[in-house]
Amino acid sequence: MLKLILRRLVQMVLIMAVSSLLLFAIFDTPEFKKRLAVQELGGFAVSALTEESYKSWLAGRGLDVPFHQRYLNWVGNILSGDFGFSYEKNRPVGPLLADRLANTGILAFFVFALMIPLSLILGILAGMKEGSLQDRSISFISVFTTSIPEIASAILLTVIFALGLGWLPVKSAMIGGFSFRELVLPVLTLVIYDFGYVARMTRASMAEVMTSQYIRTAILKGLPYRRVVMRHALRNALIAPFTLIVLQLNWLLSGVVVVEVFFEYNGFGKLLLEAALFPDVEVVQACTLVAVAVAVLSQIISDIGYTFLNPRIRFA
Partner 1 sequence: MAVTEIQSGPSLLDRLSRPKPVIALALLLWLPLTAYVMFGHRLGSGAQNVLLPAIPATVLLYVLGVRAFRESRVAVIGLTLVFFWLLMAVSAPYLPLMDPNKPIAPFTTPFTERGDLFFWLGTDFKGRDMLSRMIWGCQRVLVWGVTATMVAYVVGAMFGLISGYLAGWWDEIISFVANVLLSFPVMVLFIVILNYLGPSGFNIVVAVTFASAPAIMRIVRGLALDIKTRDYVYAAQTRGEHPLYIMIFELLPNVRGPIIVDACLRLGYTTVAITTLTFLGLGLQPPDPDWGLMIRESARTAMLWKFSYMLLVPALAVSSLILGFNLLADGLREMSLRD
Q: Name the site residues for partner 1 (rule: CB under 8 A).
A: 11, 14-15, 18-19, 22-23, 26-27, 143-144, 146-152, 155-156, 158-159, 163-164, 170, 250-251, 253-255, 257-258, 261-262, 269, 272-273, 276-277, 279, 284, 287-288, 291-292, 295-296, 299
Considering the complex, state which of residue 26 and residue 72 has its C-beta at the smaller distance from partner 1: 26
Q: Kindly state the smallest distance separating residue 16's Cβ from partner 1, in Å.
A: 8
Q: Kindly state the smallest distance separating residue 312's Cβ from partner 1, in Å.
A: 20
Q: Kindly state the smallest distance separating residue 236's Cβ from partner 1, in Å.
A: 23
List residues bridging with 91 in a β-sheet.
86
Q: Kindly state the smallest distance separating residue 237's Cβ from partner 1, in Å.
A: 20
Considering the complex, state which of residue 57 and residue 195 has its C-beta at the smaller distance from partner 1: 195
Residue 279 neighbours by CB under 8 Å, 6+ apart: 35
Q: Kindly state the smallest distance separating residue 230's Cβ from partner 1, in Å.
A: 29
What's the DSSP call for residue 86? Answer: E
Nearest-angstrom CA–CA distance, 41 and 33: 12
Nearest-angstrom CA–CA distance, 105 and 111: 10
Nearest-angstrom CA–CA distance, 178 and 172: 9
> SS3 of 222, please?
coil
Which amino acid is it at 34?
K
Considering the complex, state which of residue 31 and residue 51 has its C-beta at the smaller distance from partner 1: 31
- Per the rule left: phi > 0, alpha: psi between -120 and 50, beta: everything else, 282 is alpha
Contact 184, 168 (CB under 8 A): yes
- Per the rule left: phi > 0, alpha: psi between -120 and 50, beta: everything else, 69 is alpha
Q: Kindly state the smallest distance separating residue 262's Cβ from partner 1, in Å.
A: 7
For 38-64, give the secondary structure using H, E and C: HHHHCHHHHHHCCHHHHHHHHHHHCCC
Nearest-angstrom CA–CA distance, 175 and 173: 5
Considering the complex, state which of residue 18 and residue 72 has its C-beta at the smaller distance from partner 1: 18
Considering the complex, state which of residue 132 and residue 217 has its C-beta at the smaller distance from partner 1: 132
Considering the complex, state which of residue 150 and residue 236 has its C-beta at the smaller distance from partner 1: 150
Considering the complex, state which of residue 147 and residue 212 has its C-beta at the smaller distance from partner 1: 147
Contact 195, 116 (CB under 8 A): no
Q: Kindly state the smallest distance separating residue 156's Cβ from partner 1, in Å.
A: 6
